[in-house]
Structure 1
Amino acid sequence: MSAAKAITPDVLVVGGGPAGLSAATTLRELGVDKVVLLERDTVVGGIPRHCGHSPFGMREFRRILSGTRYAARLEARARDRGVEILTRHSVLSVGDGVVRAVSPDGPSEFRPRRILLATGTREASRAARLVSGERPLGILNTAALQAYVHLEKLAPFRRPVIVGTELVAMSAILTCLSGGIRPAAVIEANADPTARFPFWLLPRLLGIPVHYRTEIGAINGKDRVQEVVARSQAGELGIDCDGVLLTGAFTPESALARLGGLAIDQGSGGPVVDAFGRTRDGAIFAAGNLLRPVETAGWCWAEARRIAGSIARDLEGGLPPRRASIPIRTGAGIKLVVPQEIDSKEIDRVDLPRALPELQLRFSERLRGTLTLSAGDSVLWSRRITSAPERRILIPTAHLAIPPAATELTLQVVQSKAL
């Protein structure tokens, strides 16, 4: 094998989705000289480039675009600003200030001043969902469906059962319709849809049966899927179909962060970060859906712009050193919080804007009560709340009166109960 090429950019961005492209573009706009973006696929754009439907682009371009056109615009803007985009580059390792990658041209070694991980998220596989049954053709996730329909112009099935009601499931339904595919049913394990109103109305408006409190029990079929056995408290239901589409149940694509020895948060599945988007390795930042599953493309784009601002400031010596910050613990029913650490000494500095100015949290179940953020017996913030799983909840961190002696903060729902 030939010797690795040594490259020394100011910032190396790993991942070419909306977050990575946004951050790289912003870094160049802020005057960072050499910004290199690595993408393992042949084309940048991330998940949106597989989406032939709208709406994308309102925050970024002030117009409604299909995902494919949106991704192309993000790439064009990045190249126009001078970002060096290297596709077909698979990163093998990140650590000790060195990023090692391989491409069809051979191995490369990057020694950037700062690293931004924007490796995104992925849907849970059949194995991760513990779905039993036979192994016929026709079992896909949303990304594979979108690649078939929008990129290959193929229909992998005609009457699939869709598992899940997250926003991505609604996207999958639109993809099915554009490919002449008519879903046979939608299955949701919870009592309510995960997607917000009015998005969850889509299958109902299209006349697609939706079964709540129902799980996929088994998949039957020899060469191809022929039946899904759906299980609920009412018993078993056989649904004739020719495919199964597994949607949602996202998890951050955090393999590189784990291999690099970064601290991983058990709730989000992504790296532990502070309010500037820094991991505990002060030279490595993280952005986008690596931080938590899953946010919209527009949210990731805007958040990554702010994190890019933190990186540019850090290159100029404008960020305080990464030090042991106050960890944020979560109580029952709270799935995750981002960031997971906060520095009370920097919280009110108006000259030091935080890339993550709010605590972003999600519930793992439907809860009602008083959401509180406290330091010991001192309540710093509280609000009455009723929220379903996976809804975005934001707590502003500006002007929190954190006691100087605080060693941790606690988020919990007081007197909560399942609805």
Structure 2
Amino acid sequence: MAKNTATLTTRRVIFRDSITFLSLTAITVVLFVVTLFLFRSFQQHRTELAKRWSDRGVAALQANRPDQAVTCYRTALSYAPGERSYELNLAEALAQAGRTEEAYNYFIGLREARPGDGFINLQLARLAATKHDAQGAVNFYRASIYGDWEGDGAKRRRDVRLELARYLIKQKQLGPAKTELLVVGGNAPDDPELDVTLANLLEQVAAPSDAMDFFQKALVHQPDNQIALSEAGRLAYRRGDYSTALALLERAVKRQPGNEENTALLMKTRRILQLIPSETLRAPERVDRILIDRAIAKARWNACAMQSDVSQNSLQSLAARWMDPDATASRSALLHDSDKQKAALQLIYDTEIQTSQHCGAPTGDDALLLLLAQSSATKGGSH
């Protein structure tokens, strides 16, 4: 009997302990579930707050209030520490707020984690340029070009290389800038807009031949591209390639007759082609043009002599040359003597150059003859 009583007591104790254990377990589970729910709710609330502050930062930047955006992004990061998009936004906001040193240091910190990030290196290049650190800017630009990009990496790298070329032009580093531009042109798809951009930039780096190549490339794919026609025509005119300029400007004016600048330049081009005593002309026509040009230059000399001190050395020498019998050589004499033709042309060109220095800038036909004179001097010979 005593044994049964002990067994029953033991069973009751075990049952009570089991109930207690199960109760504690259930309470623990409930507390865990409640804690987990509260934690997740708290985390979700923090995420929502971070997103809300980030959106405020975006709105502040759009409203051109970068300082306010800095505060918003800092607050967003306090709710979502280490969120890369917010960190990048904060760094950009610092840069837009003019807090260059802070932005630079912030981006440097971000770069330590991702040294090959194209976007971060691009931002550092721009900030280094703002800090007048030319070598640093170039290094970061190159790191950006060869870095990692999300999305259309080829286009982004091309855009960065163009930006680098523009920066090098500002730094007067025309040789390296030209190299970057030619790399872009060599790797780019057929894109007339890009070709025109490259042509304009190549002009700035003193590469007119390359510039003309890209203008012509644009016109191959878009023969009616008004910008390419106009700018290529003006470039050809500046280079002294008046036949090419005429063809391009005629097309430009035909498609846009209301463009006064193109129309005026076309008229100048036609006139200068009438004045050029080209060696490719038949002798009678070449001599006729020399005589027309000589009359224009003589009138310019007469007008200049009346308002200037001819006793000056350069003008005195020019006056003596106009008094020489060769200055009035007849058509027949010129026609049969190529040396007299060259001497007459030299007198014409020297007159236009020297009178422009002593009597002000020429106009009309004299201005066109001055262009021919300067072109002749550059080429080291006559037209």
If each structure's strand is expressed as a fraction of its own residues, which one has the higher value? 1
TM-score, structure 2 length as denominator?
0.22
Higher relative contact order (CA 8 A, sep 6+): 1
Q: Which has the larger radius of gyration?
A: 2
TM-score, structure 1 length as denominator?
0.20
If each structure's helix is expressed as a fraction of its own residues, which one has the higher value? 2
